[in-house]
Amino acid sequence: MAPRETDDSVQLEPVFDAMLESMIVIDESGVIERVNKATQGMFGYEEKELVGRNIKMLMPGSEQVRHDNYLHRYQKTGKRRIIGIGREVQALRKDGSHFPANIAVGEISTSGEIRYVGLVRDLTDQRESEEQALRRREEMVNVSRLSIMGEMAAAMAHELNQPLTAIANYAAASTRLLDKGPTHTDDVKEALQEIYDQAHRAGEVIRRTRNFTKSAEVARGETTLSEVARPIRSLAELDTKANNIRLSWHIPVDLPGINVDSVQIQQVILNLIRNAVDAMRETDPEQRSISVSAKMTAPHQIRLEVCDHGHGVKDDRSGDIFNAFFTTKKTGMGMGLAICRTIVRSHGGELGFRKNDQRHGGCGSTFFFTIPT
């Protein structure tokens, strides 16, 4: 039976029904006593279909069991799981569809009787917006990876041209040896082995590039920074070698484990190296060097640094360098560092830079990012 309405409750009725969020009043056993109009719209029931029935009708099976346990535990021990706290749950519409909802429950006492008031908010639109934002971010991350490979195209072409030229030369030599007769069998076998080795070398370049550029769902896993960085070291060496830059690499194998999306962290590292390469276009060839290193900088934090000897970052641009669409390159999109910062922050770290001091030759910049262990 519904509680007796007082003058105050009658006066509050318009407010009750004007609320945009669902409000449900139940008794101690979970039987629905009152609902507002938003509840009817959210769940697809008319008021008469709800009043007098147990609140569990608005929950899928798994949530029904939890609801009974929560209610009984609270009445017996006073230990709160939802009441007075709130949480996210799955709710059930009349048509059988589920939707995510946030529910906050309060306790009221009238005439010595305990009742519970639930405020329910439909999270469907919020979740869809979050998923769309995540998809857009992943699309931009993938575009950024392709952009990096585009910038490295000259180095990739050079690296592929060498084994392909060797394959053509060894194939031509094999043909000439076969024309001379069967006495040169060993030489032909040796040439064929060289063709195999060079083809494998070219295939490795293509495989590494494909693995880095292909689109993939976010997949985090436990690994180490050394294992994450190892596959892209050869790609970085291609780029630096093609630009006459020395690359030193020091990422200790004994650093603590991390939980990351390896491809995204590889993208950040390679992007920072690419920027360092671009920063040294006008640097004296004798001073062209990039250092990639990693170390612990806090009890639960690893820091990776990419140090160059390029033109550095001007003071008037330092505040904008991580902003989207800001670039100092003639052909840059201005998204590389912005995307890198998004990736690093999504992993619980930070991206930054500093001007090099005399210990680093006094010129250039060091870009770095942190990752929690």
Instruction: Profile the chain (373 residues) by mean pLDDT over runs of 10 residues.
Output: 45 68 83 87 88 86 67 60 68 87 79 80 83 68 65 65 76 75 75 79 72 62 90 81 87 92 84 86 84 90 90 58 52 63 86 73 79 90
Give dist(CA 307, CA 304) in Å, integer: 10
pTM for the model stands at 0.51
Return the half-sphere exposure (C-beta side, CA atoms, 13 A cut-off) of residue 27. 13
Number of Cβ within 10 Å of residue 324's Cβ equals: 15
Consecutive H or E run containing 297: strand 289-298
Which of 220, 217, 221, 228 is CA-nearest to residue 138? 217
Task: Give pLDDT, residue 152.
Answer: 63
User: Which residue type sits at 59?
Assistant: M
Instruction: Give the H or E element holding residue 306.
Output: strand 301-307
